[in-house]
Amino acid sequence: MSQLSPLLKQATPVVVDHGEGVYLYDVDGNRHLDFTAGIGVTSTGHCHPRVVAAAQEQVGKLIHGQYTTVMHQPLRRLTERLGDVLPPGLDSLFYVNSGSEAVEAALRLSRQATGRPNVVVFEGGFHGRTVAAASMTTSGTRFSSGISPLMSGVYVAPFPFAYRYGWDEQTATKFALQELDYLFATQSAPGDIAAFFIEPVLGEGGYVPANTEFLAGLRQRADEHGIMLVLDEVQTGFGRTGKFWGHEHFDVRPDIVITAKGLASGFPLSAIAAPTELMAKAWPGSQGGTYGGNAVACAAALATLDVIQDEGLVENAAEQGRRLIDGARSVADKHPEIGDVRGLGLMVGSEFVTADGKADPETAKAAQQTAAKKGLLLLTCGAHMNVVRMIPPLVVNAEQVDAALDIWADVVAEVTG
């Protein structure tokens, strides 16, 4: 008899039978409030009827079109439709299947378009698990340990993570930009740098929003030195932060946007978007893959866009996100074991620390496990895995947010008591 590889770690013992909206139902009939959304994927909730219908209809027509062989309708329609939501000027799309592959697509594009070898990433950033993406990931050594040699040409600059430094946001930002300039002078000349890769909100790195001044500093340096500013919106895109794209909070112009996760409500689909002139500098045929731009996934993405628009899910994410972060802050106010509550929209993290301010992954893990026993599914993140994150589907309502917060208050009292 065979079994799942022990290299796969599951955060909960739940065995799911089916999902509906913000709930997962296990094989014993128990209902779980899913504040993980499959790591920020099921934006429209589990099995939204319109997504299900679109996928079912497409399955009966064409499952696999193979986009390096033929064009198909869902791919054509999705490409047209994404034009309505993409930042101005980013009018060319290329599709793959996962966030990591899309990160690699952006890496290849930026290297081919600039003819430069290096990239700069920012401390705490997560860009994926394939070897190139893992080489660009600094949210925890668990993602790169034991797989060296990693890809060369990756330079790491600080992210303005004010809480970690114990500074205010402005000081952290000034420091991070100064260090970037120092990196230009000491490690990689800016003329050798193809791209900056950054998440508008560090995801796996602990739910830390960037800020307007920092991203303006990157934009200015990118313009001055001909560096591409690549925004990894894999987790922050598609309404998650209460705006369609996370970077809209910071008024910054990207050269390349990477999207995945929420894009197709759970079907494997990812994309990079860039101006056509930039895409035209990549070498035709140098990218692709067997499954990229799958027809059923594209049909699901089209339905996802309809649902986001018709149900006002971006606005809902902003409203419920405020309710969620306010509630999480009230819980933290009563428990000094939670040192910081951060996030944007429906990305909310609570950071657990010891009395002397050190990371406390044990209590974070106990909170996540205790919540699971009480019917609330959560995940941890952060370099030390001491941040408990809440990322419900964007369809979550006020009652469900309050129900989660009630459980969360009990959980935190129990694990810190």
- Using CB under 6 A as the criterion, which residues of the chain lie in contact with ligand PMP when the complex forms? 39, 98-100, 103, 126-128, 199, 203-204, 232, 234-235, 260
Cα–Cα distances in angstroms (integers) from residue 408 to residues 88, 132, 145, 222, 384, in the given order: 40, 37, 33, 42, 21
Nearer to ligand PMP, 128 or 327 (CB): 128
Question: Least CB distance from residue 203 to ligand PMP, whole Å?
Answer: 4
What minimum distance in Å lies between the beta carbon of 270 and ligand PMP? 7
Q: Tell me 148's DSSP state.
A: P
Q: Alpha helix locations (H) across 260-397? A: 276-279, 295-310, 313-334, 361-373
3-class SS of residue 210: coil
Rounded to a whole number of angstroms, the minimum distance from the CB of residue 128 to ligand PMP is 4
Query: What's CA 201's distance to the chain center, in Å?
Result: 8
CB of 263 to ligand PMP, least distance (A): 10
The answer to whether 24 and 46 are in contact (CB under 8 A) is yes
Residues 368 and 374: their CA atoms lie apart, in Å, by 10
When the beta carbons of 248 and 319 are compared against ligand PMP, the nearer one is 248
Q: How far apart are the first and last CA of the chain?
A: 44
Closest-by-Cβ residue to ligand PMP is 99
**Pick 9 or 285: Cβ nearer ligand PMP:** 9
Give CA–CA dist 391/316, Å, rounded: 13
* Residue among 96 and 296 whose Cβ is closer to ligand PMP: 96
Going by C-beta distance under 8 Å and a sequence separation of 6 or more, which residues neighbour residue 190? 184, 221, 224, 225, 227
Q: Which residues pair with 46 in a beta bridge?
A: 21
Residue 270 phi, psi dihedral angles, 5° rounding:
-145, 165
Place of tokens 């930042």: 87
Shortest distance in whole angstroms from residue 378 CB to ligand PMP: 15
What is the smallest separation between the CB atom of 235 and ligand PMP, expressed in angstroms? 4
In the complex, minimum distance from the CB of residue 417 to ligand PMP, in angstroms, rounded to a whole number: 32
Backbone angles phi, psi at 337, to 5 degrees: -65, -20
Give the residue with the Cβ less far from ligand PMP, 260 or 366. 260
Judged by CB, which is closer to ligand PMP: 204, or 337? 204
Q: Which is nearer to ligand PMP, 51 or 347 (CB)?
A: 347
